[in-house]
Structure 1
Amino acid sequence: MARLKNGISGPIVGKLGNHVGYIRLGQPLIRMKSIPTKKKRSSAQKASTNAFSIVSKFVSPIRAFTDVSFKPYVAGTTQIPRNAGMSLNLPAVYGEYPDQHFDFSKAIVAAGVLPAALNPVAELSVYDQQNRTVKLKFSWESDPNCYGERQRDQVMMLAFFPETGKSSYCTSGARRVDRSDVLGLDVHLKNDGTGFDESYVETYIAFVSDDRMEVSNSTYCGRINLTA
């Protein structure tokens, strides 16, 4: 049953026949309920659905990061940051159904107008299995085109573990002027104590302005093997 919370001229909230009314980001919206069909799905439809699932496995674990990194990108729209993460990363899926894969080097985890990191590098900084401590060092070069308040932009660092579908991140790190920062990884020791569940990690870097209103495009920093 649908409700007219604000009278006859107000938005519809709830079910009305085959339609559902709801409020999203302050906007009244109506969508049609999907109708089950016995029609056989085409290969293209199956590929599209599978690609969406592949991207979701990457985007969902980094939601807390993209809630910051894509917020300016969707500002003023009816989208949420997750929508941006899904649409921007679908092109990173390659291969023919059902043999489809995700190209982490083409992943986008931030989008905006700030200058991106100049020649960034990520490398294994600390590997201490006994104390379950693994850290990555991110570094970048001084950009002569960045001065004034741009020097106070903060680094955003992301590490994604494809094997476990987990992530480690920082959305408010060192200043751009500092040219480096360290990210601690949330790794898990194997039951037999021979190493960590995570043997490698995919890394990304971006910058966010001091007032959190602007973000740079992200840069892929490569795959890092987590070994001694």
Structure 2
Amino acid sequence: MAELPHAWLLRLLKVPPAPRIPEGDVKVFRSAPAYRSYRLFLWAVKQVGLVAGLTVGAMFLSAIVPVINFPLSEKIAWGLEVLAWLGFIVQLPFGFLVARLDYAFRWYVLSDRSLRLHEGIVTFQEKTMTFANIQQVSIQQNPLQRLLGISDVKVETAGGGGSSGSKGGGSGHGERLHEAHFRGVSNPGEIRDVILARVRMHRDAGLGEHSVPERAEPASASPAALEAARELLTEIRALRQALPSPQGLTRTE
């Protein structure tokens, strides 16, 4: 695990501790260190976009304020612009630390029956999926991830659908309820093979969803069958009357 010198930030955000690893045949996977570079790059692109937006806003104010004939309009407009720049500057170190530490707070635990995801700093997420319900496992990789040698492993279970899916490579908190993502891993093939092997093991062992056998309902006899049964019973009684008794005496009614 990477060094975590910013304990004050973790206390401020009340970041949960590392998950308890169960006993048994358990495999634990983590995001690769390159995922930190990936998150920092995305964060930097976002900051460049914010700077561009603030700059365009300042240029717009320079052009529009002289035209507006309103008392104190220039002071109000530039005051809002200054507040926007101050907000941008204040969030810079906080956003940088979150992007830097995010990769270290991701645990992907595969037990003998289920997979468990434990991730997030600002927004914490924990999700558990049983292998019996997993339907599809795929590997996703965009050009930047390919350059850094990392990928995402997407796991889908039965009953997918609903809300819109998450964007690849993001934090993963906008993903569907029936999806799970192993973000920024350097061994996606190994993770996929382990999951598929355990899915096959559960299905071969009959640990999936069992269908409850329906209780057999007694068949209703038709009138013709009932009449035939009565005639057969009458013939059996007549035959018994015709046979001699064990003592050699004839049967009398």
TM-score (structure 1 length as normaliser): 0.25
Greater share of strand: 1
TM-score (structure 2 length as normaliser): 0.23
Greater share of helix: 2
- Compare CA radii of gyration and give the structure with the larger one: 2
